[in-house]
A and B are shown apart, each in its own frame.
Chain A
Amino acid sequence: MKRIIFYTNQFFGQIGGEDKASIPPRIEDGAVGTANLFKDKVEGEIVATIICGDNYYAENIEECREFISREVERLRPDLVIAGPAFNAGRFGIACGDVCSFVNDKYGIDTITGMYIENPAVEIYKSNTYIVETGNSAASMRKAVPRMAALANKILRKEEIGLPEEEGYIPKGIRVNVFHEKTGAERALDMLVKKLKGEEYRTEIPIPVYDKVEAARPIKDLKKAKIALLTSGGLVPYGNPDHLPAATAKFYKKYPIKDIDRFAEGSYESVHAGYDPVYANENPNRILPLDLFKELEKKGEIGSLYEFYFVTTGNSTSVADATRMGMEIAEELKEAGVDGAIMTST
C-alpha cells in the first residue's frame, strides 16, 4: 500500500485561525483536516498529517525542514501532498518549500495546489507539481479531485503528460515531440493566422518577468520629503471608507499632519490575513509613524508627506496592485515626494 504524508496549516488542520498562525509543526496519525477530503480519492494511505502555523513556517524554515526530514525518514512516504494553498501567500510558500525540499533531498514525489497568482508559484513551480486551483477555498471541491488524479498518476508511476492535460502549472521543462509539419511551416501558419486576425496559439510563451528599475538614491535625507504607505490594512477606527479585508481594488489616504503617532483605539487593522490584535494594541507596529515623526522633528528627514496610503495586501490581484502602485506614484511625484517607505504584513 503506497504511503502518503499530508502537509497543511493551522487553519485547514483544524487547530485555529490567525491566532494560531505561530504554532510550531506537529504530526498526527492518519488524515486530519483537509487530508480527509483526499483520503478516499488517493490510491495510497495517508499515514500522517503534518500541521504547522503559517507564520511559524515562514519565520523558521530551517527548523521546520528539520522536523519534516525526521518524519519523512521515519515514515518513508511514496508521496507528499501539501495544501492546496489557493492564493494564500504564507501557506503557499510553506507548501512550495515543503514539496520542493522533500523532492530535492529525498527524491520523493510531491504535489501541491495553488492559484496561478500565488507568489509561491514563481518560486517553486519548477521543483514540484503545482496543480492550478481557484483563488480561494471556495474552489476546494474542484481542486481536490484534480490534485488526487495527478497524485494517483504519480503513485502509479505513469508518465505525466503536458501541463494543460494534467492540470498543473508549467514547470519550464522542455521535451522533444514529433510534429507532422516542420517548425518553419508551423511558424508560417501562425504568422498567416496572425495577419488575418485569426486565433493562433504560440508554442513558446515568452515569460514575463517583473523587472522594476531601481529609483535613483536620495542625495540628502535631511532635505527629503518621505511618504508612508502600508499594505497592512491600517485604517481609522470604524473603517469609514470600508476598506475590504481581502482582494482590495482600491487604496485610501488619511491625514497624519496633526498627529505624532497612531493612537491605540483610533486606528485598527482590517486586514484578514494576519491576527490584528498586536496592530490594534499599537498601530505603530504596522506603520511606524511615531518613529518617523520623531525623525522629522529632529531634522533627520526633511519632512513627511501629509497623508499615509493604505490598502489591504491580502489576495490582492497583481493587476490591481500594479495599478494602485502607479496611481500612488503619480500623486507622490506631483507632491514632490523624494522617497516612500511601505510596510507589509
Chain B
Amino acid sequence: MTPISKTVGAIRIVPAVAIPYPVGNPNESEEKEREIRERIVREALMSLVKEY
C-alpha cells in the first residue's frame, strides 16, 4: 500500500507483491517465491544505505 505509506510520511518505501503476501507469491513455485522474497529484501537493504 505504497500510497498510504507516502501519505503518512514514510521515506524509504519498497513496493511489495500484494496485500495478503507482501514478500511471497502463492501462485508461484517455492523456488520462484524465494527469488521474489530475496529481491525485495535486497531492495529494502539497499534503501538503508542510500541517502534520502
A residues bordering B, Cβ < 8 Å? Answer: 18, 21, 55, 58-59, 89-90, 93, 119, 122-123, 209-212, 214, 216-219, 221, 224, 226, 232, 274-279, 281-282, 284-288, 290-292, 295, 300-301, 318, 339, 341, 343-345
Contact = CB atoms under 8 A, between A and B. Distances in A.
5 contacts: A211-B9, A214-B12, A214-B51, A217-B48, A318-B8
Given A211-B9, A212-B11, A343-B16, A282 B24 contact: yes
Interface in B1-43: 1, 3-5, 7-12, 16, 18-26, 33-34, 37-38, 40-41
Contacts of B33: 282, 285
A275 B24 CA distance: 14
Contact of B21 (A119, A279, A291, A344): A279
Residues of B in contact with A, size category: 20 to 34
Contact of A55 (B19, B26, B38, B44): B19
A232 B9 CA distance: 19
Given A278-B26, A291-B38, A119 B20 contact: no
**Interface residues of A, dominant DSSP:** mixed
B32 to A, nearest CB: 13
Contact of B41 (A18, A216, A291): A291
A341 B23 contact: no
Contacts of B18: 55, 59
Contact of B23 (A58, A226, A288, A300): A288
A90 B19 contact: yes
B37 A290 contact: yes
Contacts of A217: 48-52
A133 B49 CA distance: 42
A305 B50 CA distance: 21
Contact of A90 (B1, B9, B21, B44): B1
A122 B20 contact: no
Nearest to B8: A210
A285 B3 contact: no
Nearest to B4: A119
A341 B44 contact: yes
A58 B1 contact: yes
A94 to B, nearest CB: 11
Contacts of A276: 20
A143 to B, nearest CB: 22
A302 B19 CA distance: 29
